[in-house]
Structures are given as structure tokens and as C-alpha cells.
Amino acid sequence: MLQVVEVCKGWEGQEVLSEVSFELKKGEIIAIIGASGSGKTTLLNIIGGLMKPSRGRVLFFDQDVHSQKERDLNIFRNRKIGFIFQTYNLLSGLSIMENILLSANIAGLSSKDRAKNLISLLGLSKKDKDLPGILSCGEQQRVAIARALINEPEIILADEPTGSLDTETADEVFSLLKERVKGEKRSMVIVTHNKRLAEEADRLFLLEGRRLFKVS
């Protein structure tokens, strides 16, 4: 469903990604590991249509993601991609419920029941009216996960989604994500430093020296 074809990205003569290629199939989970600064977030941003590659292409069902008109690109990001940002990117003036519902509202979907269900699954039931600022990092991370899942995206791009969670909660959250992918035939690219979780993916890649290597 998604093909990354010889993607390169650089800034001011410094190349971060060089000829990165892989394919993501329906129902598949790919994990990417790599040192800090190796370009993992950059690659997810390019896949999700948030950043243009310097060279190469990203194809979603054979459609070139980055050659779409801005309006279509926005629809692609809103409806097809669920982005779990490394830094959460929650809107500080909106409650937890409002943060989760924002992209559903943009899509014109009525998703209150689904939001309530996700809030409960992620153990945030008493927090739905709170502002993000008073939540712990782990709680904010779980809000970011609920927000990414609200529009039932075909591809989940998860940038260290369990980085702020204790082992037990990390396992629970990963199981929830895995269940969504496997049970509902979605796909996921997960960046993680958690070796145990990385090994649960269908395929594992290492980003090193600007290139992507298949580990397993």
C-alpha cells in the first residue's frame, strides 16, 4: 500500500537520508531503530506528507503523495495517516477530549463515542476535560495516541510512542496499537528505542549513516 522509493533528504548540503527505500504492506508493522539524529523523525515526516523529500518518492496506492495539490495532501494527512508525534504536539488551549476530536471535526466525522472509548482504553477516563498542561508526560503521550487513532487511519506513524511510559503501560499501549493494526488491517511504522517492542514488529530496520538497513 505504501512504497518509499529512493528517498533523499538534506539541508544546506548536509544529507540526512540517502536513497531510502522500503515497502509497507496492509496489516504490516515495521519498526525502525537508529541513533539520535539518524533521521528517523525526518523519514516519518516525509512518509506522512509533512515534509517533502529532496529526491525520491512516496507512493500511497501508487499515488505520489508529494505531487498532490495542497488540499489533497491535507485530506491524505487527515484521513489516511495517524501521526503519533515524538513531542506529542497537543494544543495547550484545548481539553483532552477536544484535542482528540480536532482532526475528526476537520474531517467532518462525528466521533464522540469513539473518542470516549479510546480515552477509556488508554486509561484517561477522568482526564477528558483537563488541559494537556497538567498531565504527566506519559498521559500526554497516551492522548497523542488516541488523537492519532480517532480517524481510523490506514497508516499509523508512531515516533517513539512509548518513550515516556513505564514498562507495563508501554506494553499495554503497544498491544493496543498492534491490535488496531492486525485486527483492522491497518499498517504501522514505529520508531522505537525499545528493543523488545521492536522485535515484535514484522520487520525491523536500522537507520544508520543516512541509509536504511533491514535487520530482520
Ligand X SMILES: Nc1ncnc2c1ncn2[C@@H]1O[C@H](COP(=O)(O)OP(=O)(O)OP(=O)(O)O)[C@@H](O)[C@H]1O
Instruction: Name the residues that contact ligand X, by CB under 6 A.
Output: 11, 16, 34, 36-42, 86
Say which entry of Mg ion, ligand X, none residue 36 contacts (CB below 5 to 8 A, set by partner kind): ligand X
CB 100 within 8 A of CB 150: yes
∠ CA(194), CA(198), CA(199), 5° rounding?
120
Q: Report the candidate in 161, 152, 169 with the shortest Cα–Cα distance to residue 40.
A: 161
**How many Cβ atoms sit within 10 Å of the Cβ of residue 110?**
10
Shortest Cβ 45–ligand X spacing (Å): 8
DSSP letter for each residue of 151-180: T--SEEEEESTTTTS-HHHHHHHHHHHHHH
Residue nearer to ligand X on the CB measure, 119 or 212:
212
Shortest Cβ 70–Mg ion spacing (Å): 25
Q: Report the candidate in 93, 164, 169, 104 with the shortest Cα–Cα distance to residue 132.
A: 93
164 binds Mg ion (CB under 5 A): no
Amino acid at 178: K
Shortest Cβ 8–ligand X spacing (Å): 13
Say which entry of Mg ion, ligand X, none residue 132 contacts (CB below 5 to 8 A, set by partner kind): none
192 binds Mg ion (CB under 5 A): no
Shortest Cβ 1–ligand X spacing (Å): 23
Per-residue string for binding with Mg ion, 81-120, x by CB under 5 A?
-----x----------------------------------
Residues of the shown chain interacting with Mg ion in the complex, contacts defined by CB under 5 A: 40-41, 86
